[in-house]
Chains A and B, each alone.
Chain A
Amino acid sequence: MANKFFVAPSPHVHSAQSTQSLMRDVLIALLPALAVSVWVYGLNVLLVTAVAVISCVLFEFLIQKYLIKGPGTIYNLSAVVTGVLLAFNLPSNIPWWIIVIGAAVAIGVAKMTFGGLGHNPFNPALVGRVFLLIAYPVQMTSFPQPTSNQFVDAFSGATPLAAVKANLVEVGDINLLNMLSGMMPGSLGEIASLALIVGGLYMLWRKVITWHIPVAVLGSMALFAAVVAFMKGGGSLFYELPAFHLMAGGALLGAIFMATDYVTSPMTHKGMLIYGVGIGVITMIIRLWGAYPEGMSFAILFMNSVTPLINKYVKPKRFGLISGK
């Protein structure tokens, strides 16, 4: 017989999405922010990104091949995404060896120790970043000025958040348009607010993510900021403070790219909303009253740890079931 018969249970068709295609879409969504970063900080940005990506992929490959001895998972591009996200969390003038250490922690400790993609309880890139932040606080928090400096000179080298925290500048004095375009000091991926939003819209269009987590994170942050603005007397702060907090620091990068990481976020839409609101509120608490000027990474890592609990108790709406039964 010329035919070879194949048999499998239904369904017999499959959507075009695969792990690899999803990761590729995330990478495409990250490109605009990378481009803006190159424009603001120069070619150094590409170097940092390249070092981060290459070391992440290399670590995953080596661990996969010599320690786990499982099937290769390099081609699903998840290590590349981790590398880019790690780079996006670093200042563009960071020494290369720190990046390598960060990649080793992100891939070696946060991802592969737990069994690789799909099993890690915490976002690998964020674990890498937080490790570096604690281990090398000076290198991690001194940012170069944007090459075409149009920024308020009063707090050179400090991010807007740090400047506001240290009372160097009032929120009302900051040019929100500069923040939108990326003209501010910061780690290389977090500055380009508009580009990040464009990337997020692309991922929504490609059905890579759903709206729940970004909207919950940003919405709760804006609401929190608005309440704080109300306590402070309102006025123009009402829109300035929420807008400032949404664009400053890693709010957008975190909400759109880090918090939506599949593995470490909840499985149900309801759970995603709870998770997102948790991140937003914790971020704002750390920003306003904590020791660090920025709390996005800590908030996400904290909510990562809550995710299994959310998955256990927050169930989707069952068809035909009256709630409460």
Chain B
Amino acid sequence: MTVLLSTIATLSLLGILSAVILYFVAQKFKVEEDPRIDEVEKMLPGANCGGCGFAGCRAMAEAMVKQDDISALYCPVGGAECMKSMASYLGKVAPEKEPTVATVRCGGVCAKRPRTNEYSGAKSCAVASSLYVGETACAYGCLGYGDCVEACAFDAIKINPETGIAEVDADKCTACGACVKACPKKIIELRKKWPKNRAVYVSCVSKDKGAVTMKACKAGCIGCGKCAKVCAFGAITVENGLAYIDPQKCKLCRKCVNECPTGAIVLKGMEPLPKEPKTPVAKPAADVAKPTAQPAAKAVEATKPAADKTESVNEQK
């Protein structure tokens, strides 16, 4: 019994002593922190993805509290709403940014881009791309070993085993930009996010000459420039044999989609424009008016789907 009692007594004493010591140590080394940091951190999504440029949500919260001007800060995951609520809590002005979405710009699916060899090294795009051209003859296309998949904290990007190319789930994508950094071929771009995941973009980044591109991949951009000619908004530039659609200028008019001879311009979330019959020379005026009218209408009511309104306003032309 005495053994039991003495054991309990010494242990309790030890416990109390340690608690007291710990208390004083904690007091002495206490770090004063702005309590608002904790509050702001709670408002952040807590994904710690680094999409804001900081090491994690805590670091972002600190920056939000400490900097007077937070216009350079933006949490792509939380989006405008999150930024607004934090800004109003801190009494600062929230930066405005339109939502974006990661877009994989490669259409070299297995059927279009024949495999010429088999890679058996480490399954990493970075390793493969530093070694050689890749399993196909295209030095610019998606390698499909999934460095972007590894980088994504939101399970929003996957390699489609059928095509061997990365695909983004636009609903899950938070536009944190991790995949953009991870891709050694610089294929992924953050583009403006339209409602209902609509998109028009050039699904190719090959800067090879047209003939070289065509030999390597049937879905590549050959830099013919037909798309740039039909674009009414000056959104398309062709440089180094590669067309690029500026997401800020593009109004989703879809005219370029039908022009592209290789199908490198991809249309998502919308029906393509009806193919113009090859013999509309008879009534050119009406035909010109109709397609060009649509984008203009969209320009006015930006978020509405491209309706079949045919107001003949055409400021651009």
Contact = CB atoms under 8 A, between A and B. Distances in A.
The answer to A–B direct touch (Cβ < 8 A) is: yes
A289 interface: no
A5 interface: yes
A8 B130 CA distance: 11
B122 A9 contact: yes
A9 B127 contact: yes
A6 interface: yes
Contacts of A232: none
A318 interface: no
Contacts of A7: 117-121, 131-132, 135
Contacts of A312: none
Which of A4, A5, A6, A8 has the most chain B CB within a 10 Å cutoff?
A8
B122 A6 contact: no
A8 to B, nearest CB: 4
B118 A5 contact: yes
B123 to A, nearest CB: 11
Interface string A212-226: 000000000000000
A1 to B, nearest CB: 9
B116 interface: yes
Interface in A112-127: none
A5 B117 contact: yes
B117 A8 contact: no
Interface in B108-161: 116-122, 127, 131-132, 135
Contacts of A6: 117-120
Question: Chain B's interface: helix, strand, loop or mixed, by majority?
Answer: loop
Contacts of B132: 7
Nearest to B133: A7
Contacts of A8: 119-121, 131
Interface in A122-172: none
B271 to A, nearest CB: 42
Nearest to B134: A7
A9 B129 CA distance: 11
A9 B131 CA distance: 7
- Measured as residues with beta carbon below 8 angstroms from the partner, the interface class of chain A is under 10
B122 A5 contact: no
Contacts of B127: 9
Contacts of A4: 117-118
A7 B135 CA distance: 9
Interface in A258-306: none
B118 A9 contact: no
Nearest to A1: B116
A184 B132 CA distance: 64
Interface in A1-48: 4-9
B89 to A, nearest CB: 43
A5 B119 CA distance: 9
A266 to B, nearest CB: 26
B246 to A, nearest CB: 37
B121 A9 contact: yes
A144 to B, nearest CB: 39
B254 to A, nearest CB: 40
Contacts of A9: 121-122, 127, 131
A5 B116 contact: yes
Contacts of B116: 5
A52 to B, nearest CB: 37
Contacts of B121: 7-9
A7 B127 CA distance: 12
A41 B125 CA distance: 59
Nearest to A4: B118
Interface in A175-195: none
A5 B131 CA distance: 15
A103 B127 CA distance: 41
Contacts of A5: 116-118
A7 B117 CA distance: 7
Contacts of B118: 4-7
Contacts of B117: 4-7
Which of A7, A8, A9 has the most chain B CB within a 10 Å cutoff?
A7
B122 to A, nearest CB: 7
Given A4-B118, A6-B120, A8-B131, 12 more contacts: A4-B117, A5-B116, A5-B118, A6-B117, A6-B119, A7-B118, A7-B119, A7-B120, A7-B121, A8-B119, A8-B121, A9-B127
- Top 3 nearest A-B pairs (CB, nearest first) are A5-B117, A8-B121, A8-B120
Interface of B: 116-122, 127, 131-132, 135
25 contacts: A4-B117, A4-B118, A5-B116, A5-B117, A5-B118, A6-B117, A6-B118, A6-B119, A6-B120, A7-B117, A7-B118, A7-B119, A7-B120, A7-B121, A7-B131, A7-B132, A7-B135, A8-B119, A8-B120, A8-B121, A8-B131, A9-B121, A9-B122, A9-B127, A9-B131
